[in-house]
Chain A
Amino acid sequence: DGGITQSPKYLFRKEGQNVTLSCEQNLNHDAMYWYRQDPGQGLRLIYYSQIVNDFQKGDIAEGYSVSREKKESFPLTVTSAQKNPTAFYLCASSIDRSTTNYGYTFGSGTRLTVV
């Protein structure tokens, strides 16, 4: 079955440590996105990529980095510069580079906790 796979489901990060969240899709979707969700809040855009080898900063990119070396993969690294990384991270994809006509397909999310 086609879909988006995020791993791990739960992740614990120590202070000063970089961690990478995986996002893989087999839907042949062009565009991929990373959002962060804090309790009681909506989704905030971190980074997005509409084509391979290109990505754009979202509203809260500071302290995060991404790569898009393959169409199927869009990993997110949470660096030590992100001071408050505890949140639920959602990866999404869209069939087309333009979102106007199509919605997102979401992965199941990664819950990151700083310990």
Chain B
Amino acid sequence: QKEVEQNSGPLSVPEGAIASLNCTYSDRGSQSFFWYRQYSGKSPELIMSIYSNGDKEDGRFTAQLNKASQYVSLLIRDSQPSDSATYLCAVDNYGQNFVFGPGTRLSVLP
């Protein structure tokens, strides 16, 4: 059974700070990794994807991947109260579907 682990939080950061969200996965053969944001009572929204080791930046978001350590992270720079949500890590299951982590709840304090 493939597993994706995340700290459930809540992770609290002050407005303007960097929020760091972490995810580990069990299957060394996983090829692609996605981050979703989910506001309370709503459906998940895609933030970004990453496929290769290293960093990938998109605006205030940076995804980091280390396949050797089976670790993927999401950094949010200049955090805003509107970033307060649950962040879901999703790992590709050999092209069939995605396995999701339990999510990390982020709270950005004004």
User: Once A and B bind, how many residue pairs between them come within 8 Å at the CB atom?
Assistant: 62
Are the C-beta atoms of A103 and B46 separated by less than 8 Å? Answer: yes
By a CB distance below 8 angstroms, the chain B residues around A50 are: 96
By a CB distance below 8 angstroms, the chain A residues around B99 are: 45
Measured between C-beta atoms, what is the minimum distance from A32 to chain B in Å?
Answer: 10
A66 part of interface (Cβ distance < 8 Å):
no
Per DSSP, are chain B's interface residues mostly helix, strand or loop, or mixed? loop
A65 part of interface (Cβ distance < 8 Å):
no
Per DSSP, are chain A's interface residues mostly helix, strand or loop, or mixed? loop
**B42 partner, pick from A98, A104, A108, beta carbons under 8 A:** A108
By a CB distance below 8 angstroms, the chain A residues around B8 are: 40
**A109 partner, pick from B36, B43, B46, B93, beta carbons under 8 A:** B43
**A40 partner, pick from B4, B88, B95, B102, beta carbons under 8 A:** B102
Are the C-beta atoms of B92 and A106 separated by less than 8 Å? Answer: no
A42 part of interface (Cβ distance < 8 Å):
yes
Q: How far apart are the CA atoms of A9 and B7 in the complex, in Å?
A: 30
* Total interface residues in chain A, CB < 8 Å: 26
Measured between C-beta atoms, what is the minimum distance from A13 to chain B in Å?
Answer: 20
Are the C-beta atoms of A99 and B49 separated by less than 8 Å? Answer: no
Most central of A48, A106, A108 by chain B CB within 10 Å:
A106
Q: How far apart are the CA atoms of A71 and B90 in the complex, in Å?
A: 25
